[in-house]
Each structure stands twice: as structure tokens, then as C-alpha cells.
Amino acid sequence: MGLTINQIRDNTTRARHLMQRSRQQGFAVGAFNVDNQDTMIAVARAAQALNSPVLVEITADEVKAMGIDNVRDMVDNYKAEYGIEIYINLDHSPTVEDAKRGIDAGFEFIHIDISTANHDASDEEIISATKEIVEYAKFTGALVESEPHYFGGGSNVFTENFDYEEIKKTFSTPEGAKAFVDATGIDTFAAAVGNLHGKYPVPKELDLELLQRIRDVLTCQISLHGGSDTPLHFFTDAAKMGISKVNINSDLRYAYRTGLEKTLADNPDQFAVVKIMEPVRQAIQAVVEEKIKSLGSEGKAVL
């Protein structure tokens, strides 16, 4: 059942208060991609166990698989069942139309990223699309996130290492970040400081000095994408610096895939897979709880 406009606005107001609290209190909120209901249950259980606010997020692929309104309903159901503070982010929305559908569905967080569909999108195209969504989101109060260029990597497990010197060429700059925020009016800037989508043979390294300089020139929120496979101390330090949101995807997918492979191997004669999924959910929940603790959001939920 869909939410009323008053319910949506109440949710987005609470979401804005959460982002403000995160900066004031030095914690960040984990934004966890959910591919299916098992992942969503694991995130909800982790939020309940640690009394932590969480975001769940879906990309265009998950929208196609589960349905944008179905995700809204599931989150609302688990919010009530588990008694948790939980919001939805539409992650890397590739078109203006997709982003508007997320706003219409009552999502509290909207990430507009037309460069994910067109890596060669011009600055003018990116700014224009972002401004359109910022204006459209005013009706519900949804928080809009964006960045000025394509964000590298992919939400998968890679066997080849990345070229860190090449990645450095895509880093955000304080001047560029401020110019983009001023031009678009976004609520959240997605910074690139060594964070990269996916899991790689070596851990990632974040340039915290650069991140601090970006934080110093922006008044809006800052998010970090590509949080998987990152040493946890970077999360803790970034949260204390005033970073409000960290996206986690590949680590959850890895826990799901490897956990599923193991439980299937351990139960070769069981074809009612629903009966053997609990170890998989527990494996995902353990990953989520680890991230929550590193982000400092344990005990920060406001219900």
C-alpha cells in the first residue's frame, strides 16, 4: 500500500534530521544494497540488534527485479516488524525519469547519476539533470545526491588489481566539489577520494586529507560510494570528519553468494531452498553489523 504525501514528507524530514545528527555526533549511516528479500531481512536484523539507523538502496537492476513500489512496501513492513529506523535510497539512478519515479514512490534519498548510463555525459548535461531532480524533489523533501562525473569500478568481485595512479586522476577536488554543489543545489555530494566500486585483490586506500579539505568547503552532506573491501578504520575516521553516508554493496553480494554456495553444498538433497537460507542471512547480517560498528552508528537510531 502506498504512503500518503504527509507520510512521505514525515519520512523525509526524519531522514534530514538523521543526516544532521550524523554530522553533529560524528557517525555515518550505512547504505546497504539489497538484491532480494533475504538481504533486506539481514539488514533489518542488524539494525535492530545494534539499534542503528540504516539505509537500504536499490539500483536500476534491483528495481527491475523487485519493483520500485514493492521495495517501498517491504521496507515499511520490516520497519514496523523490527521497530527500526530505516530509509530507502535510489542508487545511481541513470535517468531523470527513473529518479522521478523514486521520488514519486516515496524514497527518502535519491541519487541521480546520468553518467552511469553515459560515461561521456557533459558537465552541462549532468548539472541540468541534477538541477531538475533537485527541483522535483522539493515536493516530497527527498534528499538528492549526485557527483560531477562517472564513478569508476563496478559492484562485483574482480581478480585484477586497479591502477591507483589512474584512479587518482578521477579524485574529487575541493574547488570542483564546491562548484558542483553551488551549481546544482544538491543535499549530498558523492566524493571520490580512493573509494571505488567493487572488491579487489588489495584493499582500498582513502585519501583522508583530501576528504577533509572537501569537507571544509562544503556545507552539504558528503557520501562515500564503493565502501566494500575497505579497511574499517577509514570508515571510522571519515565519520568523525563529518561524512554522513557510506554505500556498501559488493561485500553483501559476496557474503550472499558464498553463503548460498555453502548452504547448497551442505544440503544437496534439499530442494526447498527457503528452508536452508538462515545461514545465508546470518552471514550477510554479520557483514552489516561489522560496517555499522565501524561507522559509529550503533545506538544512534531515533524511533
Whether the Cβ atoms of residue 53 and residue 303 lie closer than 8 Å to each other: no
The Cα–Cα gap between 226 and 69 comes to 26
Residue 209, amino acid: E
Q: How far is CA 245 from the centre of its chain?
A: 7
List Cβ neighbours of 97 (8 Å cut-off, separation of 6 or more).
Answer: none
User: Which triple of cell numbers denotes residue 265?
Assistant: 553444498
HSE-CB for 81 with a 13 A CA cutoff: 10
Catalytic residue among 35, 38, 76, 91: 91
The Cα–Cα gap between 264 and 258 comes to 10
Eight-class DSSP state of 277: -
Alpha helices in 106-249 (DSSP H): 123-137, 164-168, 174-184, 208-217, 232-241
Residue 207 falls in the annotated catalytic set: no
Residue 228, amino acid: S
**Catalytic residue ranges:** 91
